[in-house]
Structure 1
Amino acid sequence: MTDISVQSTTEVESSETTHFGFSTVSTDQKAEKVAEVFHSVATKYDIMNDLLSGGIHRLWKRFTIDCSGARPGQKVLDLGGGTGDLAAKFSRIVGDKGEVVLADINNSMLNVGRDKLRDSGIVGNVHYVQANAEELPFPDDHFDVITISFCLRNVTDKDKALRSMFRVLKPGGRLLVLEFSKPLLAPLSKIYDAYSFHLLPKIGELVVNDGDSYRYLAESIRMHPDQDTLEGMMQEAGFEQTKYYNLTGGIVALHRGYKF
């Protein structure tokens, strides 16, 4: 496998529309607009994650790792893996006989992740692939574990992406979707809304000089399916024994499903 490979897809003109945050755009525009967001924030993505979550994102990711059941010698796909937080941990778990693929549709994020992992001495069992989650360029029944962390909400056709993940997962393998979700309590939801729509863009403007991208990120969270809806989507894609865990009062949820 090459160091960074690109999955090219044929663009099909369509009059269909979808959401980009609270805006409505044509389906063939969304990927380009999402790419612009992450090109803008890539170099300071890790700093902003720590700053905006108070470091709690590390606990969410650790819980995802613990729920993955990954073992030495397995193949893991870290989809939408960005700067490689999960890929780095999986690399140590699967060892020299295993393989981790860090895949992202955005080459700026992928390059930051590659440099970060290599600088920390992680080489050999991690490969980097630029790919669209809706059309994954991997064989059927290939991975033991797939994780997609804070990425699914940015995908244009989530159902198609889930089916694509199901296809490349081995029988007996598991998918873990870590994503922002719907807070369980109304008071928490109000506080979260105030933080997301007022404070978050201001911090983005100060740190990254890009408040609009973080305004989009807040809006994209609100447009993402709630916990039960996403679980149903996973079941429709073929996953069984689905379950989700609410983290930090439902601000984030981890969904898990198996392929049998």
Structure 2
Amino acid sequence: MSCTNFCRNIMKEGRMLSKYLRITVVKRSYSKAASTFSEGNENTTHFGFQTVETSEKTKKVYDVFENVANSYDKMNDAMSMGIHRVWKDIFIQELGPTHGTHLLDSAGGTGDITFRYINFLKNTPNPHNIRSCVTVCDINQHMLDVGKKRASRLNLLPDNCDVNWKQENAENLSFEEESFTAYTIAFGIRNVTHIDKVLSEAYRVLQPGGRFLCLEFSHVNNKTLKWLYDQYSFQIIPVMGQLIAGQWKPYQYLVESIRRFPNQEDFKYMIETAGFRNVTYRNLTFGTVAIHSGFKL
């Protein structure tokens, strides 16, 4: 072998090794992102900034929302200065449901997304009188009870749309495979113990062509805005929770849980890993929240 060919082979092998190492680093990075909630130990996870036993987290989250259910909507208005309503409006517009949609509104709690879904369909022509359906599920029965009362108070009697309320764990749904044409989860997925199980269940219960849509707090990339956001979150929101809802700790957990949630790119990868395709995200309010979308194809 000539010296020239020998050098070329060495350079070629070097490029291949470099490529392999880059791929390995990326895979390890994504693997780390996917296990954000495991703290490197399958028996422990996080509850805000605390490390707790995996078996404890579901109960702790349940207690948080049991305590704040009655003041949940009032606090949402106060904390976001009403902007959460705009985020949720944009979320439903992004979904763009049509008549005949069978929606699973997971972690649907007090019904904010479901009510918007119903109103969206009411304002959409339905000349063929096609029936739609929405199932609101939440692990916390108290939250569902508040939602039912709100529906009654709002005199929400949808035409051509069935509404069901069910207590369900998003990590282990009781519904059959391919039961729904759309799946939404708004401000709920960061509270679960195993995000990957929630995504897997969402994929399982969706029909082929079905859409997964998630609205969740995310990461502000601008350093100045992030600093301001952190000051407001840690210094103001818990105090607000104490004054309005008489609860400090649940809102301390809220702001901590947001910081522990994967960033936009890492969560996008987790959704893709669950099997979804055409996965995208859209930042709202400088990345304070993001809408993540994927399809079961």
Match in the other structure for 1:154: 191
Say whether the 8 Å CA contact 1:91–1:126 is kept in structure 2.
no
Q: Aligned equivalents of 2:264 and 2:168: distance in 1? A: 26
Match in the other structure for 2:55: 28
Match in the other structure for 1:75: 102
Q: Does 2:208 correspond to 1:171?
A: yes
Deviations 1:114-158 (A, max 9, x none): 110122122461110100011111111111111100000001000
Q: 1:15 to 1:229 in 2, by over 3 A?
A: closer
Q: Aligned equivalents of 2:294 and 2:255: distance in 1? A: 26
Q: Aligned equivalents of 2:182 and 2:42: distance in 1? A: 36
Q: Secondary structure at the match of 1:184?
A: coil
- Offset of 1:94 from its aligned partner? 4.7
Q: Aligned equivalents of 1:72 and 1:177: distance in 2? A: 21
Q: Aligned equivalents of 2:242 and 2:229: distance in 1? A: 19
Deviations 1:85-131 (A, max 9, x none): 11012123456711111110011111101110122122461110100
TM-score between both structures, scaled by the size of structure 1:
0.92
In structure 1, the gaps of 5 or more residues are 1-13
Q: Does 2:180 correspond to 1:143?
A: yes
Q: Secondary structure at the match of 2:104?
A: strand
TM-score between both structures, scaled by the size of structure 2:
0.81
Match in the other structure for 1:46: 73
Q: Does 2:295 correspond to 1:258?
A: yes
Q: Flag the structure with higher helix content.
A: 2
Number of matched pairs = 247
Q: Aligned equivalents of 2:261 and 2:145: distance in 1? A: 27
Q: Aligned equivalents of 1:152 and 1:49: distance in 2? A: 17
Match in the other structure for 2:16: none
Match for 1:47: what amino acid? Answer: K
Q: Does 2:258 correspond to 1:221?
A: yes
Match in the other structure for 2:286: 249
Q: Secondary structure at the match of 2:183?
A: strand
- Which entry has the higher C-alpha Rg, 1 or 2? 2
Q: Aligned equivalents of 2:278 and 2:89: distance in 1? A: 22
Using the TM superposition, name which of 86-95 and 110-119 deviates more.
86-95
In structure 2, the gaps of 5 or more residues are 1-40, 123-129
Q: Aligned equivalents of 1:76 and 1:209: distance in 2? A: 34
RMSD (CA atoms): 1.4
Q: Aligned equivalents of 1:226 and 1:109: distance in 2? A: 27
Match in the other structure for 1:231: 268
Q: 1:15 to 1:164 in 2, by over 3 A?
A: closer
Q: Aligned equivalents of 1:17 and 1:181: distance in 2? A: 23
Q: Secondary structure at the match of 2:235?
A: helix
Q: Does 2:167 correspond to 1:122?
A: no
Q: Does 2:87 correspond to 1:60?
A: yes
Match in the other structure for 2:22: none
- Offset of 1:186 from its aligned partner? 0.7
Match for 2:116: what amino acid? Answer: K
Match in the other structure for 2:25: none
- Offset of 1:15 from its aligned partner? 7.1
Q: Aligned equivalents of 1:122 and 1:168: distance in 2? A: 27
Q: Does 2:151 correspond to 1:104?
A: no
Q: Aligned equivalents of 1:73 and 1:256: distance in 2? A: 20
Q: Secondary structure at the match of 1:108?
A: helix
Q: Does 2:120 correspond to 1:86?
A: no
- Offset of 1:69 from its aligned partner? 2.6
Say whether the 8 Å CA contact 1:74–1:94 is kept in structure 2.
no
Q: Does 2:248 correspond to 1:211?
A: yes
